[in-house]
Amino acid sequence: MILPMTRQQQAEYERRSILMDRPYLPVSGTIRNCVNWLLSHLYYPDEEVGASLSEFWLDELGLHDIGTESINWGDLGCVEVRQYADGGGWEVFIEEAAPECPALQAYITKWLTAWGWTPVEVRTEW
């Protein structure tokens, strides 16, 4: 399993990779992994359908509104991360959710910000 990385951890990872002359995942890939990790933690294993939305985690995280947003939970995922042209922040694109999903966008923004990936703008799209 790929765990999320803070911005500081990413910098250390890059530094060590360069010192050891090894390739490393670019920042956009690390952010994409962070987003997909956050999304995967909204589910629990389910014998009948594979995975179901976890009401427990929605309650624990205060994300009740996410369950009411227009989201295709079966194929939700981060498909792209772009750095702004000025290098000052990130755009995160999540597919299989309506453009108007403020609770989902706020959840991802909150954690990426806490992990140092700022500024960040989360966009949801079909």
- pLDDT tens-digit map of 17-73: 999 999 888 999 999 999 999 999 898 888 888 888 888 888 888 888 888 899 998
pLDDT at 2 over 90: no
Residue 73, SS3? coil
Distance (Å, rounded) from C-alpha 65 to C-alpha 123? Answer: 17
Q: Domain 28-125, what fold?
A: GMP Synthetase; Chain A, domain 3 (3.30.300)
Distance (Å, rounded) from C-alpha 116 to C-alpha 126? Answer: 27
Of the pLDDT bands very low, low, confident and very high (cuts 50, 70, 90), residue 5 is: very high
- Find the length of the chain: 126
Delimit the domains of the chain by residue range.
Answer: 28-125
pLDDT digits (tens, 9 = 90+) for 84-125: 999 889 999 999 999 999 999 999 999 999 999 999 999 999
Neighbours of 26 (CB within 10 A): 13
CA distances from 39 to 13, 18, 44, 52, 71 (A): 23, 30, 11, 12, 12
pLDDT (0 to 100) of residue 70: 94
CA distances from 87 to 21, 69, 99, 100, 118 (A): 25, 32, 24, 26, 11
Backbone angles phi, psi at 51, to 5 degrees: -155, 145
